[in-house]
A = this chain, B = another copy of it.
Amino acid sequence: MRVSRLRELKPTILKIGGSVITDKDKELEVRMQTINRLAEEIREASVQNLIIVHGGGSFGHPLAQRYAITEGFKEQTQKAGFSETHHVMTVLNGLFMDALIWRNIPAVSITPSSCIITKNGRIQRFEDAPLKMLLKMGFFPVLYGDAVLDSKLGFTILSGDQLVSMLATKLNAERIVIGVDVDGLYDDDPRVKKTAKMFKHLTLEELKRLESKLGKPTTCDVTGGMFGKIVELLPAIEQGIPVTIVNATKPNYIYKVIKGKKVKGTIIEKE
């Protein structure tokens, strides 16, 4: 009984990259078909204790960059930019929620900027009571990268990746699944270099040795590319939470991985 209750409280954290659900080459371009397919896969997997976090892609990033939101509040003209960046993220989240809720998935969005304050870009306060209650009641909380208030900078951008890492360590997650637009973690950027080699399995130690070689982003991403994503996850991996990186643009990969089935991808474990 105790074991099953403990397991119940250990959620899977599923990150869906902004490059998966939006077209990063065009501003405010949602990939609605992909969102619907992913929602269908999540419904079919019929798992419990799932937290979903999605990125901003071509909704949040171009605006955040145009108004230098990450750098903080320096001039009045940025205020409209902060409002707009947060607003477009709620729009993208709304489209994602639509797809989940139409399929009767008990998903409830949590707005990061309404319950999180950062300090120099790092999460400082997080009112987690709604999230914990949602999980306990069997809902799937859905969060996203957002423009948030920052006690030092005024405001900044909170990446979905930092959110994933914080939630995983705080809730001692069962595992983290990172859905991206490539097959896994490579020793170079696979979208640029054809000779890039994918890692099937990495330990924390191997990962740290590879840090300098990881792929760099090819398009606009204020929160960094694959390198930044993995670095964010180090505290979770250190805590013993395994990370699986898979290609979420390929049908059934997310379905299989959240069902616990084997798919092509990169697994990163502490040891």
Tell me if A104 is interfacial: C-beta within 8 Å of chain B.
Answer: yes
Task: Report chain B residues within 8 Å CB of A79.
Answer: 106, 137-139
Which of A3-11, A50-58, A109-117, A178-186 is the contact stretch? Answer: A109-117
26 contacts between A and B (CB under 8 A): A79-B106, A79-B137, A79-B138, A80-B104, A83-B101, A83-B106, A83-B108, A83-B139, A87-B94, A87-B97, A87-B98, A90-B93, A90-B97, A108-B113, A109-B111, A114-B127, A114-B130, A115-B115, A116-B130, A117-B129, A117-B133, A125-B127, A127-B127, A130-B148, A133-B149, A134-B149
Q: How far is the CA of A108 from the CA of B114 in the complex (A)?
A: 10
Q: How far is the CA of A105 from the CA of B80 in the complex (A)?
A: 7
Task: Report chain B residues within 8 Å CB of A113.
Answer: 108, 110, 130
Number of copies of this chain in the oligomer?
2
> Which among A125, A149, A151 has the greatest number of chain B C-beta atoms within 10 A?
A149
User: Contact string, A122-144, partner B, CB cutoff 8 A, digits 1/0?
Assistant: 00010101100110011100000
Tell me if A240 is interfacial: C-beta within 8 Å of chain B.
Answer: no
Interface size on A, residues (CB 8 A): 42
Tell me if A82 is interfacial: C-beta within 8 Å of chain B.
Answer: yes
Which of B93, B94, B108, B117 touches A130 (beta carbons < 8 Å)? Answer: B117
Q: How far is the CA of A117 from the CA of B134 in the complex (A)?
A: 11
Q: Which residue of B lies closest to A73 (CB)?
A: B137
Tell me if A157 is interfacial: C-beta within 8 Å of chain B.
Answer: no
User: Contact string, A71-87, partner B, CB cutoff 8 A, digits 1/0?
Assistant: 00100000110111011
Q: Which residue of B lies closest to A88 (CB)?
A: B101
* A108: min CB distance to chain B, Å: 6
Q: In the bound complex, do residue A130 and residue B149 qualify as a contact, i.e. CB atoms below 8 Å apart?
A: yes
